[in-house]
């Protein structure tokens, strides 16, 4: 995969990202540009991650979730 920002080469990595301000999802497959450092997610990884975030939001009441600094997966 080529970088959409600088056209540099990318490498497949595992990364972590915070969603909705306090939900940390770990071990997300992503692509990182070796030239500029830009991070990209393929469609499958992105959709899988959003599914996990949605599941967490359904399991933890919004009132409780708003008081938690980070929920780690």
Mean pLDDT of the chain: 85
Residue 44 lies in a domain: yes
Residue 68 lies in a domain: yes
Structural domains counted in the chain: 1
Residue 61 lies in a domain: yes
Q: What's the N-to-C CA distance of the chain in angstroms?
A: 27
Residue 59 lies in a domain: yes
pTM of the model: 0.69
HSE of 36, CA atoms in CB hemisphere, 13 A: 10
Residue 1 lies in a domain: no
Give 38: exposed, middle or buried? Use CB within 10 Å, 0-12, 13-18, 19+.
middle
pLDDT the model gives residue 22: 78
Kindly report, residue by residue over 2-32, the tens digit of the pLDDT: 999 999 999 999 999 888 777 888 899 999 9
Q: Of 5-14, 25-34, 48-57, 60-69, which gets the smallest average pLDDT? A: 60-69
| Residue ranges making up the domain that contains 43 | 10-72
Q: Which CATH number characterizes residue 23's domain?
A: 3.10.20
HSE of 71, CA atoms in CB hemisphere, 13 A: 20
Residue 40 lies in a domain: yes
What is the mean predicted confidence (pLDDT) over 27-55? Answer: 93
């Amino acid at each position: 995969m080529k970088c959409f920002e600088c056209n540099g080469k990318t490498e497949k990595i595992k990364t972590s990202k915070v969603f909705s301000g306090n939900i940390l999802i770990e071990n997300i497959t992503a692509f990182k540009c070796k030239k500029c450092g830009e991070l990209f997610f393929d469609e499958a990884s992105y959709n899988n991650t959003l599914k996990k975030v949605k599941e967490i939001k359904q399991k933890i009441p919004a009132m409780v979730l708003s008081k938690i600094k980070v929920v780690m997966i």
